[in-house]
């Protein structure tokens, strides 16, 4: 269409719109020709808006935006936090690719459907949702054409009541260690007397009294106390990497099953989880000299405030 013809059409449309607005008709009052003209106007406007949106989105590079976002996260949080955000976005990327969605154009219904596909505990799902929502909020600030589709979603899983934190007593720990099989006994010994997280055990490397591993997104290293060394030397497991063929979940499950059995037999007060043995370490180490800075370093916390909150949750007076 030439410029002159386009101007003629525009003039006709403006004249018709003016006439319609003055008469304030309903659709039933319009002639067939007028209805067709209105339909063409609406379709043209919708297509124009859609094309404008797509042209703006084409200029946005997803990988560049994602990398900038993750870089900002790494400046304000730990490597573990950055890794969690990265894994969450990878799940969304896989879902949008599988379903043929544009990650910048995904709508609330589609994001709700994505949320329903998530597996794991409510806390795990909420972490994924929050990570992706943060990314969309980041995009929204940088590009006005993008809106956060997660805002207002009703698909977030309900959080389960938090389990009351348990700390084994010295006598209970002795009872547990005496009754556990070799692998579980060594794991509980390391968590109780050195405070390592269960997630670091299958990456554990030992030489002499020293160790190294990987936990919460960072390398950790240190030295084992005599209580752990005795268990290592008295074990038929590998002295260098005793848990290398075990998964974190299998270690957790095996230990919980044994403590549950002891609990049902009335020998201990609770079916303790792996993290409860880290609780034991935290409390017992703090009570030695009440040096929170020393304990914070032993627990590999990023700052002292985390250790303070951690100990208060264990009902320790600081």
For residue 95, being part of any structural domain is answered with yes
Residue 114 pLDDT greater than 60, yes or no: yes
Residues 87 and 50 in one domain: no
Number of other residues whose CB lies within 10 A of the CB of residue 136: 21
Residues 309 and 260 in one domain: yes
| CATH code: domain of residue 122 | 1.10.150
Mean pLDDT of the region 55-82: 75
| CATH code: domain of residue 178 | 1.10.443.10
Residue 204 pLDDT greater than 90, yes or no: yes
Single residue among 25, 42, 57 that ends a domain in this structure: 57
Parent domain of 304: 170-313
For residue 151, being part of any structural domain is answered with no
**Domains: count for the chain:** 3
pLDDT at 142: 87
Output 295 or 123, whichever has higher pLDDT. Answer: 295
Number of other residues whose CB lies within 10 A of the CB of residue 30: 16
Mean pLDDT of the region 291-309: 85
Residues 126 and 207 in one domain: no
Residue 186 pLDDT greater than 90, yes or no: yes
The dihedral over CA atoms of 13, 14, 19, 21, expressed in degrees to the nearest 10, equals 110
Q: Tell me the C-alpha distance between 142 and 242, whole Å.
A: 49
For residue 113, being part of any structural domain is answered with yes
Q: Tell me the C-alpha distance between 168 and 170, whole Å.
A: 7
Tokens found for residue 262: 């002891």
Mean pLDDT of the region 50-60: 61
For residue 156, being part of any structural domain is answered with no
Q: What are the tens digits of pLDDT across the range 221-277?
A: 999 999 999 988 888 888 899 999 899 999 999 999 999 999 999 999 999 999 999
Output 146 or 34, whichever has higher pLDDT. Answer: 146
On the CB side of 290, CA atoms within 13 Å amount to 4
For residue 222, being part of any structural domain is answered with yes
pLDDT at 97: 93
pLDDT at 316: 80
For residue 164, being part of any structural domain is answered with no
Mean pLDDT of the region 127-134: 89
Residues 98 and 222 in one domain: no
Residues 182 and 280 in one domain: yes
Tokens found for residue 81: 């936090």
Single residue among 57, 80, 102 that ends a domain in this structure: 57
pLDDT at 77: 56
Residues 248 and 219 in one domain: yes
- The closest alpha carbon to 267, from 194, 182, 176, 177, belongs to 176
For residue 125, being part of any structural domain is answered with yes
For residue 83, being part of any structural domain is answered with yes
Residues 236 and 127 in one domain: no
pLDDT at 209: 92
Residues 20 and 127 in one domain: no
Q: What are the tens digits of pLDDT across the range 141-152?
A: 888 878 899 887
For the ranges 109-123, 189-203, 278-292, the lowest mean pLDDT is seen at: 109-123
């Amino acid at each position: 269409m030439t410029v002159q013809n386009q101007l003629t059409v525009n003039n006709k449309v403006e004249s018709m719109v003016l006439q319609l607005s003055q008469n304030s008709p309903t659709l039933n009052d319009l002639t067939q020709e007028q209805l067709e003209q209105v339909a063409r106007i609406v379709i043209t406007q919708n297509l124009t808006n859609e094309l404008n949106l797509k042209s703006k989105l084409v200029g946005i590079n997803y990988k560049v935006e994602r990398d900038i976002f993750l870089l900002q996260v790494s400046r304000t949080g730990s490597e573990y936090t950055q890794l969690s955000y990265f894994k969450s976005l990878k799940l969304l990327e896989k879902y949008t690719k599988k379903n043929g969605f544009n990650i910048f154009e995904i709508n609330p219904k589609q994001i709700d459907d994505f949320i329903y596909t998530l597996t794991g505990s409510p806390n795990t799902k909420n972490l994924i949702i929050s990570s992706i929502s943060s990314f969309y909020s980041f995009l929204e600030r940088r590009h006005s054409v993008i809106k956060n589709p997660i805002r207002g979603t009703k698909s977030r899983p309900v959080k389960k009541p938090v389990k009351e934190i348990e700390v084994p007593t010295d006598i209970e720990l002795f009872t547990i260690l005496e009754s556990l099989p070799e692998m579980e006994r060594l794991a509980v010994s390391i968590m109780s007397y050195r405070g390592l997280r269960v997630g670091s055990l299958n990456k554990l490397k030992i030489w002499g009294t020293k160790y190294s591993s990987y936990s919460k997104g960072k390398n950790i290293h240190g030295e084992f106390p005599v209580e752990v060394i005795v268990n290592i030397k008295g074990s038929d497991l590998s002295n260098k990497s005793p848990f290398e063929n075990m998964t974190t979940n299998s270690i957790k499950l095996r230990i919980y099953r044994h403590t549950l059995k002891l609990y049902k037999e009335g020998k201990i007060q609770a079916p303790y989880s792996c993290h409860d043995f880290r609780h034991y370490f935290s409390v017992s180490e703090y009570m030695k000299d009440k040096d929170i800075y020393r304990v914070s370093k032993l627990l590999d916390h990023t700052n002292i405030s985390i250790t303070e909150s951690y100990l208060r949750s264990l009902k320790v007076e600081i």
